[in-house]
Amino acid sequence: MLDRARGIVPDHAEQMDAIYRYQRHIYDITRKYYLLGRDRLIRTLDAAPGMSVLEVGCGTGRNLIAVARHWPQAHCFGFDISPAMLDTARASVARHGLADRIALRHGDATDFAARRLWGHDRFDRIVMSYTLSMIPGWELAVDEAVRALAAGGSLHIVDFGQQERLPPVFRKLLFAWLARFDVAPRGDMQPVLEDIAARHGLTLAFTPLYRGYAWRAVLKRPVGP
Place domain 12-220 in its CATH homologous superfamily. Vaccinia Virus protein VP39 (3.40.50.150)
Q: Determine the average pLDDT of the residues in 25-42.
A: 66
Buried b (16+ CB within 10 A) or exposed e, 28-50: beebeeebbbbeebbeebebeee
Distance CA 33, CA 217 (A): 21
Please say if the pLDDT value at position 17 is more than 70. no
Q: What's the confidence (pLDDT) of residue 12?
A: 54
Distance CA 75, CA 51 (A): 6
* Backbone phi, psi, residue 13, to 5°: -60, -45
Q: What's the confidence (pLDDT) of residue 184?
A: 94
User: Which is it for strands 203-209 and 149-160: parallel, antiparallel or unpaired?
Assistant: unpaired
Answer yes or no: are the C-beta atoms of 79 and 58 closer than 8 Å: yes
Chain segment 129-172, per-residue pLDDT in tens: 999 999 988 999 999 999 999 999 999 999 999 999 999 999 99
CB count in 10 Å sphere of residue 130:
22
Please say if the pLDDT value at position 34 is more than 70. no
Q: Determine the average pLDDT of the residues in 27-33.
A: 46
Chain segment 84-140, per-residue pLDDT in tens: 889 999 999 999 999 999 999 999 999 988 999 999 899 999 999 999 999 988 999
Q: What's the confidence (pLDDT) of residue 76?
A: 97
User: Which is it for strands 75-80 and 102-106: parallel, antiparallel or unpaired?
Assistant: parallel
The vertex-32 CA angle with 48 and 159, nearest 5°, equals: 65
**pTM, rounded to two decimals:** 0.87
Selection from 179, 187, 214, 132 nearest residue 19 by Cα: 179
| CA-to-CA separations, 184 to 150, 174, 225, in angstroms, rounded | 30, 10, 36
Chain segment 60-86, per-residue pLDDT in tens: 999 999 999 999 999 999 999 988 889
Q: Which residues contact 112 (CB under 8 A, 6 or more apart)?
A: 56, 79, 144, 148
